[in-house]
Structure 1
Amino acid sequence: MVTGGGSGIGRAIARAFAAEREEVTITGRRLEPLQETDSGRGITCAQVDVTDEAAVEALFAQPFDVVIANAGMGRAAPLTEVSLEEWTQTLTVNLTGTFLTFRAAMRNMPKGGRLIAIASTQALKGGGRIAAYAASKHGVLGLVRSVAHEVARREITCNAICPGFVETPMAEAAVKSVMASRGLDEAAARDMVVSNNPVGRMIQPDEVAAAALYLASPGAAMVNGHALSVSGGEI
């Protein structure tokens, strides 16, 4: 199960597991992007909003061995320009959505299951103009570390993947925001966005998917409560 499977990291993860001949279900608020992720790969698409408690509970009427809470949102803006509505929406999607997903998944998850949250390097540090996003991802990491203790005796693991800027629509929005606020062209704005990454480029979605495959593998059975940074050395 991959939430937010209609684009970006979620799409890459879903396709990576499907390529390993796993039975994959993806969720999202819009059906068309989910179907584009599938494109004949045999992926099951479920139109579900992760902030809808009843819909999430119904989704997990059947158990899943691996559950990846990927659905998220974020916008760069000074804190003084963040409305209460935007603050609440960011925490609701990123943090409450992960809580609802994990809570429902834990009820029937079989022994040896895997819970994985897609967090961010911003779960491990702070930064200007991303207060709402960083706060939500810090919360996700706290949730992961606590859940790891609850499920350990069931031989289930709970971990977070913390990518830096990944080549996704969300990152492109960040680039456009920098262009608008700093008066830079696209190349200069992209350079600024990835300036904290020693490698000097955006991370590819497939590189995050590879981390998810590892955490879901038998070889990661003793990796629990961990924040796996995929950031080129940023963290």
Structure 2
Amino acid sequence: MPPLPSSPAPRHVLVTGSSRGIGQAIAAAFVAAGERVTVHGRSEASASRAMAELGAAGAIAADVTDAASLHAAIASAIETNGPVDVLVNNAGGVETAPLSRLDVDALRRMMALNVEPVLTAIRAVVPGMKAKGGGRIVTVASTAGLKGYAYVGAYTAAKHAVVGLTRAFALELAAAEITVNAVCPGYTDTALMADSLDRLEEKTGRSRDDLLKDFTRVNPLGRLIRPEEVADCVRWLAGTEAGAITGQAIAVAGGEI
């Protein structure tokens, strides 16, 4: 009787911004799938806590707006767990302001937080991917990378830039069997969303249910997206069956796009 085929070795998956929210859900999905996951947090404490909670293989800490710090942290993850097979760029953030208060400094902050780390991380992992014969890169963008939103002009511009990088790098890296895609969630049920609702409730005096309707009315499903739904899309894009999917920006938004 011929021997059974051996199971593929666990891949090294690095998820930036994975100490909470969508990033933590993505890291958890890869851990559950048996992959060797490195989590990332802004601080050593948050990264270590996420590693312990998820049972991840490693943790790194870096301020993603500091390119040298992020590159060094990724290099240490590679030294510990080997070349990165799957990179998930999830770290990012949003600032709100109307046009009358939106200045160039705000635009630069959004680019530094949402765009520059994507370039830094991709440059750090691509040599190892090429040496291994391929890899997967998935960036968590936003529906703001596919349409406009009022009062978040700088964030919207940054997420459009992320989608642009995705499409450009997909063309550059296709010959190396490295796929590059973006996932674009709509409003998602995270602690960050809960904090935003808390602040708005206090600031406006409106009820939480009423405020939540403002966020969900753009979604035909009439609800917030679950972090696990975003994670499942990311995990699929990282799989062998998605080897021909590259240069895409996939909305996980209940039909909003």
Question: Does residue 9 in structure 1 map to residue 36 in structure 2?
Answer: no
2:149 equivalent among 127, 132, 145 = 127
The one-letter amino acid of 1:120's match is S
Question: Does residue 31 in structure 1 map to residue 44 in structure 2?
Answer: yes
Kept in 2: contact 1:174–1:193 (CA 8 A): no
1:63-82 counterparts in 2 under 5 A? Answer: 63-82=83-102
Question: Does residue 150 in structure 1 map to residue 172 in structure 2?
Answer: yes
Question: Does residue 160 in structure 1 map to residue 177 in structure 2?
Answer: no
Q: What's the secondary structure of 2:220's corresponding residue?
A: coil
1:49 equivalent among 60, 63, 69 = 63
2:128 equivalent among 100, 108, 125 = 108
Report the CA distance between 1:46 and its aligned residue.
0.6
Query: Using the alignment, how far apart are the partners of 2:237 and 2:29 within structure 1?
Result: 13
Q: C-alpha deviations, 1:143-196, integer Å up to 9, x for none?
A: 000000011001110000000011123323443465466542111001111110
Query: Using the alignment, how far apart are the partners of 2:56 and 2:187 within structure 1?
Result: 29
Gaps of 5+ in 1: none
2:112 equivalent among 74, 88, 92 = 92
The one-letter amino acid of 1:33's match is S
Gaps of 5+ in 2: 1-13
Give every structure 1 segment of 4 or more consecutive aligned residues whose post-TM-superposition deviation is greater than 4 Å: 180-183
The one-letter amino acid of 1:221's match is G
Q: C-alpha deviations, 1:192-217, integer Å up to 9, x for none?
A: 11110011111111111101110000
Query: Using the alignment, how far apart are the partners of 1:104 and 1:169 within structure 2?
Result: 30
Question: Does residue 229 in structure 1 map to residue 251 in structure 2?
Answer: yes
Query: Using the alignment, how far apart are the partners of 1:86 and 1:80 within structure 2?
Result: 12
Of 31-40 and 17-26, more deviation after overlay is shown by: 31-40
**Structure 1 residue aligned with 2:11:** none
Identity score, percent = 37
Relative to the length of structure 2, the TM-score reads 0.86
Kept in 2: contact 1:76–1:177 (CA 8 A): no
Query: Using the alignment, how far apart are the partners of 1:78 and 1:176 within structure 2?
Result: 20
Report the CA distance between 1:67 and its aligned residue.
0.2
Q: What's the secondary structure of 1:24's corresponding residue?
A: strand
> Which is greater in Rg?
2
Kept in 2: contact 1:148–1:157 (CA 8 A): yes
Relative to the length of structure 1, the TM-score reads 0.93
Kept in 2: contact 1:87–1:132 (CA 8 A): yes
Kept in 1: contact 2:61–2:73 (CA 8 A): no
Of 223-232 and 182-191, more deviation after overlay is shown by: 182-191
